[in-house]
Structures are given as C-alpha cells and as structure tokens.
Amino acid sequence: MDYKDYYKILGVNRKASADDIRKVYRKLAMQHHPDKNPGDKKAEDKFKEINEAYQVLSDDQKRARYDQLGSAYSNFRTSGGRPGDFQWDDWFQQNAGQRGNVNDMFNGGGSAGFSDFFRTIFGEAMRSSVRSQAAQGTGYQQEVQISFQEAYEGTTRQLQTNGRKLQVRIPAGVKTGSKVRVAGAGPEGLDLYLVIRVEDQDRFERDGYDLTTTSAVSIFTLILGGEADVDTPAGKVKLSIPAGTQTDQVFRLAGRGMPLLKKANAKGDLFVKLKVQVPKYLSSKQRELIEEASRIKF
C-alpha cells in the first residue's frame, strides 16, 4: 500500500491553518468538480483525491493521527527504507489505533471514492463517527458552495451516493450555515445534510433576509429630483428620488430582499444608500450654468 501525502495533494504546508486548508480545498474542488468537467475521468479522480485529503486535514483528530503516521513513515524512508517495505501492521499495533473496513458504509465502497490508504487508517474511526452521528440524530454532513444568485433564486446539485444519482433542490433564501436534508442518502442509511456556504460577493450586504446596497446617482438628480436605476438581485428597478435628496440617504424597497425560507412569495427588504456621482467632464455651457448657480446665495 502506498503512502498518500495529503498536504502535497492540496498543495499546503504541513503547518497550514484550518482556514488556509479550507480556502485551498474550495478552490481546487470548484476547479475539478465533475459538474464542471463532465466526462473527464482525470478530473473526477482528482476531485475524489482532494476531497479525501480535505476529509483528513480538516478534522483535528484525523489530522493528528495522520501526522503521527507521517512522522513514522518519514523516519522510515530517511533511514533508507523502501516504500513497499513499511510495516503498516506494526505501526497500528504500536499506536493502539484500531483499523476497520468501511466498505459497508458505502455499499462496497466503490462509489465513496476513498482510497485503500484512507480506509486502512481511518476505517474504524469513520464507522464510529457515523454510528455516533446516528445516535445523536445528526446525520452525515457535506459542505456545498453556491453563488449569491443561486441563494436568491434557489438551485439544484447532483449528488452521487450509494451508487445512485440524486438531484437535490436547494431552496431560495438559504444562507451560509443553512442545512438541506436529504433523507437516507448518507452512509449506513443516515440522512445526508448539505451544509450551505454562500460565496462572497460585493453588490449586496446581507442581514437575515434584508439586503443593503449602494447606488451612485447623478448630483443633478439629487438636486432636481428624478429617477435612478438601482440594482436588485432580480435586476434593475427605477427608484424615484425627490428633489433635494442628500448623499448617503437610504431608501427602503419593500419586498426586494432575500426570499424567506418556507414562505412562498415573501421576501425581505432592500435598503439603497445613495452616493453622489460627480461628472468628470462638463461642457462649457454646463460649467457656465453651475458657476452662475454657485454665485447665488441660498
């Protein structure tokens, strides 16, 4: 059995923080995800490999056990040992770590995508973890990343579990940390919970189901009044601006925020903060009129 260097697979330093590991994993997972590389077996294998590495390095207990093994294996190789000669059984006995077979977790294991190396080291720990989750009624969790627009509109993800493909609906209005339950789709018949992570974006700031955005408006519109185009998650809308509106003034657009979970057709509000947009260039006539206006006392 070959030793797998999970740090090398993710391209991170052995002292990398959990946050650094998570960021690298998300980038690689998006790059090699089967949905983005349909029919590409190499991309699929790479996706499984980086997922396996993340399963270990993102878990403090698994990472500590893996690092312990890595130190022993490194010492063995430094002393001149050949990879195929490492005594795996001796290491397990010396470290009182139980190994087990996790094939039953995934109806034979082929669809799970875990290597023999992973199964040998973490087999029993994985099974114990799954049983513990079952006892607590928490199920099995898997992180899923979606865009802000997908969170607003709702989306779907195709999952392959226990040898079957499932099309899972992620409802509109979810936020980072929301969980979508897929009954019986996890190992050993547990429920699978998709833990949602919404990608960062610059257009809108979210507070529950309410959104806040900033919109640049011509200084002439603020002075004289008029209409301005304002971005919303559903597209641009016209905002009526009264004469004499001040910069940084906030307008509330009711029902233009995020959809409320489990409440059809209900949405939060969108708050629009206005910023003055000063023209860079003026015609001679415009400059003349503005200079004349500036000489008039209010």
- 264 or 273: which carries more pLDDT confidence? 273
- 144 or 296: which carries more pLDDT confidence? 144
282-297 pLDDT tens trace? 889 888 888 888 787 7
58-72, 108-122, 241-255 — which is least confidently predicted?
108-122
Structural domains of the chain, ranges and CATH numbers in brackets: 6-198 (1.10.287.110), 205-294 (2.60.260.20)
pLDDT score for 29: 86
pLDDT score for 280: 84
pLDDT band at 217 (very low <50, low <70, confident <90, very high): very high
Predicted TM-score (pTM) of the model is 0.55
Task: Report the mean per-residue pLDDT for the chain.
Answer: 79
Using the predicted structure, report yes or no on whether residue 100 has a pLDDT greater than 70.
no
Using the predicted structure, report yes or no on whether residue 102 has a pLDDT greater than 70.
no
pLDDT band at 99 (very low <50, low <70, confident <90, very high): very low
Using the predicted structure, report yes or no on whether residue 68 has a pLDDT greater than 90.
no
Query: How many angstroms separate the CA atoms of 126 and 105, rounded?
Result: 9
Taking residues 20-28, what's their average pLDDT? 91
pLDDT score for 104: 33
Taking residues 57-71, what's their average pLDDT? 79
Taking residues 145-173, what's their average pLDDT? 87
pLDDT band at 24 (very low <50, low <70, confident <90, very high): very high
219-247 pLDDT tens trace? 889 999 999 999 999 999 999 999 999 98
